[in-house]
Amino acid sequence: MTMFRRFGLLAPLAALSLAGCGINSVPTAEEQVNAKWGDLQADYQRRADLIPNLVATVKGYAQQEKSVLTEVTQARASATSVKLNAGDLSDPAKVQAFQNAQNQLTGSLGRLLVSVEAYPDLKSNQNFLALQDQLEGTENRIEVARRDYNESVRQYNTLVRTFPTAIGAKVFYGAKPKVPFEAAAAAQNAPTVTFGNAS
């Protein structure tokens, strides 16, 4: 057999073995994770962009709620200052810091919306209602984006941890598992409901 004929027989075998090692599937899955991460970041940015308008609208009605407004503003600043890019998605500490900042902002927004209950005029204000609806819609989009991101992380992590794609993932790409979003620790506790004294 000539060398060219041997090469002609070995080339398809080599291509099949490389395909089985994740040469194409690993980067495809990683790009899917990165795309879902971009979607999630866009939704977090949308929420951050709505907050100044919401705070300004509430501020006009609720002068005595300055501490809650300050807390929301500070939480927004903290949440937008913690940056996490696609290259950091394999670092549990960086992902946790990002999640903590977002959870703090979510809690502050919840306290702001509870304090609004004391202002019936504000609750009927069209600007406030529109902002509240947009914020609620954005929170729903964030929830969906987290779920989509976690599903793409699950698929990617399965590829880089299972045979035979784990070989190609490690050898060719040095792939590391990505970190999924997890629920905040407080989410495990049932909310406490208290009712004021009835007169």
pLDDT in tens, 90-139: 999 999 999 999 999 998 888 888 877 777 777 667 888 888 889 999 99
The rounded distance, in Å, linking the Cα atoms of 133 and 127 is 10
Tokens 């709505």 -> residue:
50
Phi, psi values for residue 93, rounded to 5°:
-65, -40
Question: Who wins on pLDDT, 87 or 192?
Answer: 87
Output the pTM of the full model: 0.70
pLDDT at 62 over 70: no
pLDDT score of 186: 62
CA angle 191, 117, 186 (to 5 degrees): 20
Going from N- to C-terminal start, the domains of the chain cover: 44-145
Instruction: Determine the average pLDDT of the residues in 20-37.
Output: 87
Instruction: Determine the average pLDDT of the residues in 63-81.
Output: 83
For residue 97, give both structure tokens: 């810091």
The rounded distance, in Å, linking the Cα atoms of 100 and 103 is 5
What is the fold, at CATH topology level, of the domain defined by 44-145? de novo design (two linked rop proteins) (1.20.1440)
Average pLDDT, the chain: 81
Instruction: Determine the average pLDDT of the residues in 11-27.
Output: 63
For residue 150, give both structure tokens: 């976690």
184 three-state secondary structure: coil
